Amino acid sequence: MASEDDIYRMMDLRDRYLLGIVLCSVAAGISSYLLVNGMWCWDILYLSVVSCLGVLLCIWQIWKLNHKIMGAGNCYLELEQDCLVVCQPEKNGHYESCRIFYEEMEKIVEGSRRGIPEFYVVIKATENERESFILLDDDEQDRLIFCVRSLGYENRRFIEFYRKLLHFGKQIFPDFDQGILGHSQHDFSLKVICQNPK
C-alpha cells in the first residue's frame, strides 16, 4: 500500500500549489488594478498575463494531485509467496485489481511510455481454468494483460517493487535474462523482461 509518507508528500505539494494560486492571484490583482487606473505599460501587462497563467497552471496541478491522493489511499502492490496482488485507481472513480499467480504468468513487459514507470503482466492463455483473475471494481474481466502503474508511489519505490518481481521471475522462469536489470531506471522501452518457457 502507498505509505502515509507518500500521501503526506503529495498533500504538502498540493499546499504549495495553493500558496502559488494565492501569490499569483495577488500579483494579477495588483497588476490589473494598475492597468485599470491608467498606469499602462508592457511590464505590468506581462505580469498580469503571467500571473493569470500561473493561477491556471496551479489549479491544474492541484486537480491532478487530488486524483492521485484519492487513489493512493486505496491502492496497493504486494508480492505474496505465490502471486502478485494489485489494486489501483482506474478512470472515473473505478478501481482495477488483480491476483496473478507466478506459475500462470507468461511474461512481464516494461511499459513503452518514456518517464512513466509501468509494466505489463501477461497471463498464459490456456484451456484449463485459471486461478488468476483481473477485476474492474467487482466485475471479472476477460483479458490476459494487466498494466501495473506507479500511481501514488514514488518512482524509486515502484522500481524497487518491479525489480523484486523480476527476482521472483528469475526464480520461476529458467530462461530469465538477468542482464536486462542494468537498464536506466527512467528508460522504460518496450521489451520482454522474463518469459515463461513453453
Asked whether the predicted pLDDT for residue 196 surpasses 70, the reply is no
- Across the beta sheet with 105-110, the strand order is 145-149, 118-123, 105-110, 192-195
Domain boundary (41, 72, 103) is at 72
Q: Which of 53-62, 84-93, 99-108, 155-164 has the highest mean pLDDT?
A: 53-62
Which segments within the chain are labelled E, that is strand? 76-79, 83-89, 95-101, 105-110, 118-123, 133-136, 139-140, 145-149, 192-195
Domain boundary (72, 92, 108) is at 72
Judge if 90 and 182 occupy the same domain: yes
Asked whether the predicted pLDDT for residue 146 surpasses 80, the reply is yes
Domain range enclosing 139: 76-195
Judge if 130 and 189 occupy the same domain: yes
Banded pLDDT at 79 (limits 50, 70, 90): confident
Judge if 67 and 80 occupy the same domain: no
Judge if 159 and 130 occupy the same domain: yes
Judge if 135 and 89 occupy the same domain: yes
Q: Is the pTM of this model over 0.75?
A: no
Domain boundary (30, 54, 72) is at 72
Q: Which of 19-23, 40-44, 86-90, 135-139 has the highest mean pLDDT?
A: 19-23
Across 103-118, average pLDDT? 79
51 residue type, one letter: S
Query: What per-residue confidence (pLDDT) applies to 151?
Result: 66
* DSSP one-letter string for 12-27: HHHHHHHHHHHHHHHH
Number of domains into which the chain is organized: 2
Across 120-142, average pLDDT? 84
Judge if 189 and 142 occupy the same domain: yes
Distance, in Å, from the CA atom of 149 to the CA atom of 116, rounded to the nearest integer, reads: 8
Beta-strand pair 139-140/105-110: unpaired
Banded pLDDT at 59 (limits 50, 70, 90): very high
**Cell numbers at 194, concatenated:** 522474463
Question: What percentage of the chain reaches a pLDDT higher than 70?
Answer: 73
Judge if 118 and 178 occupy the same domain: yes
Across 99-104, average pLDDT? 86
Judge if 87 and 182 occupy the same domain: yes
**Cell numbers at 120, concatenated:** 505489463
Neighbouring C-alpha atoms within 13 Å toward the C-beta of 26 = 5
Judge if 52 and 91 occupy the same domain: no
84 has which bridge partners?
Answer: 79, 100
Asked whether the predicted pLDDT for residue 186 surpasses 70, the reply is no
Judge if 112 and 186 occupy the same domain: yes
Distance, in Å, from the CA atom of 63 to the CA atom of 128, rounded to the nearest integer, reads: 45
Find the angle CA(150)-CA(153)-CA(154) to the nearest 5 degrees. 105
Query: What per-residue confidence (pLDDT) applies to 3?
Result: 54
Query: What per-residue confidence (pLDDT) applies to 173?
Result: 62
Asked whether the predicted pLDDT for residue 165 surpasses 80, the reply is yes
Banded pLDDT at 104 (limits 50, 70, 90): confident
Query: What per-residue confidence (pLDDT) applies to 51?
Result: 93
Are the beta carbons of 188 and 113 closer than 8 angstroms? yes
* DSSP code for 163: H
Indicate the average pLDDT of the chain: 76
Query: What per-residue confidence (pLDDT) applies to 54?
Result: 93
